[in-house]
Amino acid sequence: MVAKKYKRKLLNFHVKHRLQIWLMIRIGGIIILTAIVSALVLYGYARHETVNSFYDAHIKIRRLSDLLIPVVLAGSAVSLISGTVLAIFLPQKLAGPLYRIEKDLDKVQQGDLTVRIHLRTSDTLHNFAQQINETINHLDQHLSHIQHLNDEMQQSSKSADNDLTQQLTQLNQHLSTIKTTYSNEQISKN
């Protein structure tokens, strides 16, 4: 059976939904604010230049600012559209890898230190995932070392218990011999 190749969705708003909404609002707000400010600056500058340049003209000329309004609106519309596209796709670059990292770290939290986070090399957080993998590997090595030391201590305590048991058995035998001898001496004295 051939494994089906996974194809990433272009848009997936179900992954880290709150983060994506938060980023979209922030990016969208910045884009709208900059579009409005740039439109107002351009309109104000054009109107000021028009008044100074053509104030003395005898021919009736439409104000340059009236001609610039469609250009300003078109520029603002283009920046809003491009900003909206950016606001939609940028959170996807962060939300997907964060979701994958979160799910794999949940497995680590359950105690599975064999889990490794695999992200595409083109993902934004690829280096971060590699650092997490190195940390998990380091923890796994430390826990293996601790387990090895624990096993050695248990074996030492078992051998010490066996030695102690043998010594106690010998002491009990000596005590019984002494008791028997003492009892026999008491009987012979009487």
Tell me the pLDDT tens digit for each residue of 97-139: 888 898 999 999 998 889 999 888 887 788 889 999 999 999 9
| 144 within some domain | no
| Token pair in block for residue 84 | 């909206």
Global pTM? 0.51
| 6 within some domain | no
Instruction: Give the single-character DSSP code of 2.
Output: P
Tell me the pLDDT tens digit for each residue of 129-188: 999 999 999 999 988 998 988 888 888 877 777 778 888 888 888 888 887 877 777 676
| 7 within some domain | no
| 22 within some domain | yes
Structural domain including 56 reads 17-110
| 45 within some domain | yes
Q: Provide φ and ψ at 16, rounded to 5°.
A: 50, 55
What DSSP assignment string belongs to 70-139? HHHHHHHHHHHHHHHHHHHHHHHHHHHHHHHHHHHHHHHHTT-TT------TTSTTHHHHHHHHHHHHHH
Give residue for tokens 């230190």. Answer: 113
Count structural domains, the chain. 1
